[in-house]
Amino acid sequence: MPGPLSHIKVLDLSRVLAGPWAGQLLADLGADVIKVERPGAGDDTRGWGPPFLKNKDGSESRESGYYLAVNRNKRSLTISMEKPEGQEIIRKLAANSDIVLENFKVGTLPRYGLGYEDLKQVNPKLIYCSITGFGQDGPIAQNAAYDFLIQGMGGLMSITGEAEGRPGAGPQKVGIPIIDLMSGMYGTVAVLAALANREVTGKGDYIDLAMLDIQTAVLSNQAMNYLLLGRVPKRQGNRHPNIMPQDVFRCADGQVVLAVGNDGQYAKMCQALNRPELATDARYIKNADRVRNKDVLLPLIEDIFKQWTRADLVAAMEAVGVPCGPINNIDEVFEIPQVKHRGMRMDLPHPTSGTVPSVANPIKLKEAPIEYRNAPPLLGADSDEILRGIGISDAEIARLREQGVV
């Protein structure tokens, strides 16, 4: 069956990660996503390696792992947006698109006549989503930004990492570009909401997304802890600020994550450990008590866990329904039977390498399942097809290519 967005056309002018992540989500859901890239160079992430995909002959391709992670199911068109003829091509494509995604610095696309107000003139029903570091207005709106910078500015690094006084203490960024990814997710939600509203009003919309706004929003419970108490949250390593016991613990032969989420699970954990007295100790019966007394409770649990092997402890916790599991390396993740069962690792046909590995979309739709149509495209692989689709002849395409427009 066609995907739920198979009737939607997306013009993806974005680069790097936040915009392309939104574009890949929309493409996985069936949308026809045209990725516009610079002639000869393409998206910056094509060169963000190693690693690079290997061709069939063993040579390195021009496609990095970074690029391959976020551009599946798209078509690639090369256009020089600095050239008037390139701008005209984009306007023609926008006239037949439902969504435009872009993450240029504030004011860049309006200078080319490709801002929302410009493209709205050729397509009043257009949904135009701009993702920037700081939004379209404000005292630092013009500043450039990357995920790492926003994690620092937006408070995430101040609550990530070991607590002061412990080995390795200091602010840490998250191991993936989490704010880029969250910006792509928020962008996807926003354009889908605008599509739903357009069904009612017949009108398009403009979406102004700022990575700093998104980072501030996803501080979630930590932000509320501060707003309620006026106390600045600090780094606590792997401990949860509001729920106990949740931490990384060492067993006889490795480490585990324990994520007790309620009083019932805590009592079951104590029984499984043959330490029922810890379940009835007044200092630990309720979660609020355990949070207040965590500096006594957590070392007790650590001492108990050291007497167990990792496998035996995980099995004992699973038997009573207490969330507990190993800390896996990424290679181990793809060996988890559940991950294999859910089909999260797959291979897609690729024109120069034969196949390219890919991580599946986690959305499972019963009536209109995700369709994996093609691997991330080679630079400009679909240019001729797309340009012919808006009435440009082969001779004209050849001329535009010779002049560096496409």
- What is the CATH number for 284? 3.30.1540.10
Q: Are residues 213 and 100 in the same domain?
A: yes
- 165: domain CATH number is 3.40.50.10540
Per-residue pLDDT, averaged over 324-351, amounts to 96
pLDDT tens by residue, 195-237: 999 999 999 999 999 999 999 999 999 999 999 999 999 998 9
pLDDT of the residue at 282: 96
Q: Are residues 352 and 312 in the same domain?
A: no
* pLDDT beyond 80 at 313: yes
Task: Write the burial class of residue 326 (CB in 10 Å: 0-12 exposed, 13-18 middle, 19+ buried).
Answer: middle
Closest alpha carbon to 31 in 13, 8, 4, 11 = 8
CA–CA distance, 101 with 188 (Å, rounded to integer): 10
CA–CA distance, 290 with 269 (Å, rounded to integer): 14
Q: Are residues 208 and 257 in the same domain?
A: no
Q: How many other C-beta atoms lie within 10 A of the C-beta of residue 382?
A: 18
pLDDT band at 330 (very low <50, low <70, confident <90, very high): very high
Residue 360 lies in a domain: yes
pLDDT of the residue at 130: 98
DSSP string for residues in 350-405 = ETTTEEEEEEPP----SSS------PSPPTTTTHHHHHHHTT--HHHHHHHHHTT-
Per-residue pLDDT, averaged over 89-94, amounts to 98
Residue 2 lies in a domain: no
Closest alpha carbon to 30 in 361, 380, 349 = 361
Q: Are residues 124 and 13 in the same domain?
A: yes
pLDDT tens by residue, 238-269: 988 889 999 999 999 989 999 999 999 999 99
Residue 371 lies in a domain: yes
* pLDDT beyond 90 at 404: yes
Q: Are residues 36 and 125 in the same domain?
A: yes
**Domain count along the chain:** 2
CA–CA distance, 280 with 244 (Å, rounded to integer): 15
Q: Are residues 185 and 58 in the same domain?
A: yes
What are the residues facing 402 on neighbouring strands?
none
- The token pair at 268 is 């079951």
Whether the Cβ atoms of residue 99 and residue 127 lie closer than 8 Å to each other: yes
pLDDT tens by residue, 13-66: 999 999 999 999 999 999 999 999 999 999 999 999 999 999 999 999 989 999
Closest alpha carbon to 392 in 405, 379, 375 = 405
Q: Are residues 159 and 296 in the same domain?
A: no
394 is catalytic: no
- The token pair at 344 is 């999260």
Q: Out of 98, 147, 180, 205, pick the active-site residue.
A: 180
Structural domain range at position 128 = 9-217+340-402
Residue 223 lies in a domain: no
pLDDT band at 2 (very low <50, low <70, confident <90, very high): confident
Residue 239 lies in a domain: no
- Dihedral sign from CA coordinates of 111, 113, 116, 121: positive
* pLDDT beyond 80 at 1: no
Residue 47 lies in a domain: yes
Q: Are residues 380 and 271 in the same domain?
A: no
pLDDT tens by residue, 262-306: 999 999 999 999 999 999 999 999 999 999 999 999 999 999 999
Whether the Cβ atoms of residue 94 and residue 11 lie closer than 8 Å to each other: yes
- Tokens 């120069």 sit at which residue? 352
Residue 228 lies in a domain: no
Per-residue pLDDT, averaged over 128-143, amounts to 97
Domain boundary (327, 348, 375) is at 327
Q: Are residues 198 and 166 in the same domain?
A: yes
Q: Are residues 54 and 189 in the same domain?
A: yes
Counting residues of the chain whose pLDDT is more than 70, the rounded percentage is 100
CA–CA distance, 209 with 336 (Å, rounded to integer): 36
CA–CA distance, 51 with 60 (Å, rounded to integer): 9
Domain boundary (268, 297, 327) is at 327
Which pairs from 105-110 meet CB under 8 Å and 24+ separation? 105/132, 105/142, 105/144, 106/132, 106/136, 106/141, 106/142, 107/142, 109/13, 109/81
CA–CA distance, 88 with 366 (Å, rounded to integer): 41
Whether the Cβ atoms of residue 191 and residue 125 lie closer than 8 Å to each other: no
pLDDT tens by residue, 172-183: 999 999 999 999
DSSP string for residues in 142-176 = T----HHHHHHHTTTGGGSSBPTTSTTBS----SS
Per-residue pLDDT, averaged over 139-164, amounts to 96
Name 228's Cβ contacts closer than 8 Å, sequence gap at least 6: none
Q: Are residues 313 and 188 in the same domain?
A: no
pLDDT of the residue at 326: 92
Q: Are residues 184 and 268 in the same domain?
A: no
Whether the Cβ atoms of residue 316 and residue 256 lie closer than 8 Å to each other: no
Counting residues of the chain whose pLDDT is more than 90, the rounded percentage is 96
Q: How many other C-beta atoms lie within 10 A of the C-beta of residue 398?
A: 12
- Residue 215 amino acid letter: Q
Per-residue pLDDT, averaged over 389-402, amounts to 97
pLDDT of the residue at 359: 97
Name 340's Cβ contacts closer than 8 Å, sequence gap at least 6: 334
Residue 299 lies in a domain: yes
Domain boundary (298, 327, 356) is at 327
* pLDDT beyond 90 at 166: no
Per-residue pLDDT, averaged over 104-126, amounts to 97
> If residue 127 lies in a helix (H) or strand (E), which one and from where to where?
strand 127-132
